[in-house]
Amino acid sequence: MTWKPHATVAVVVEDHQGRFLLVEELSSGKVVFNQPAGHIEENEAILDAVKRETLEETGWEVEPTYLLGIYTYKAPSNGVTYYRFCYAARALHQATDQLDDGIIAPHWLTPAEIKRLGDKLRSPLVLQCIEDYRNGRKFPLDVIVDGQT
């Protein structure tokens, strides 16, 4: 069997009230909460994936502002290793209410509300990315050279 890494994006978006945009979704038959996130498609620029996934899962158009980090996570449910390119982004406007299959609803939640979700978070990276964002972790967008653009 050939090992195939899974490259994903995730997006941390904070509103003017200090709330964060999360997605309530169905994953493996279980309701969980996650940042807007998903796989980078073949021939897709990473920043385009950030915008697309956020729009598809929340209906919000966003502008990426900086890279928070690249996170590695091996999911215990399926043994797959994910490489998560997590970005901070600014919400521009809600463009649609049409959401991807499996998405229940987008939510704006405070950090305290997110922590209370506990095991309803899709992975520990959800909280870690928010904490890194709140601690000021940031890298310029051009730290990743994307040959697609």
Q: Is residue 148 part of a domain?
A: no
Q: Is residue 119 part of a domain?
A: yes
Tell me the pLDDT of the chain (149 aa) as tens digits.
677 779 999 999 999 999 999 999 998 889 999 999 999 999 999 999 999 999 999 999 999 999 999 999 988 888 888 999 999 999 999 999 999 999 999 999 999 999 999 999 999 999 999 999 999 999 999 999 877 55
- Give the whole-angstrom CA distance, residue 4 versus residue 101: 25
Q: Is residue 78 part of a domain?
A: yes
Q: What is the CATH number of the domain that holds 134?
A: 3.90.79.10
pTM assigned to the model = 0.92
Identify which of 72, 83, 70 has the alpha carbon closest to the alpha carbon of residue 143: 70
Residue 8 in 3-state DSSP? strand
Q: Is residue 77 part of a domain?
A: yes
The domain in which residue 66 lies consists of 6-143
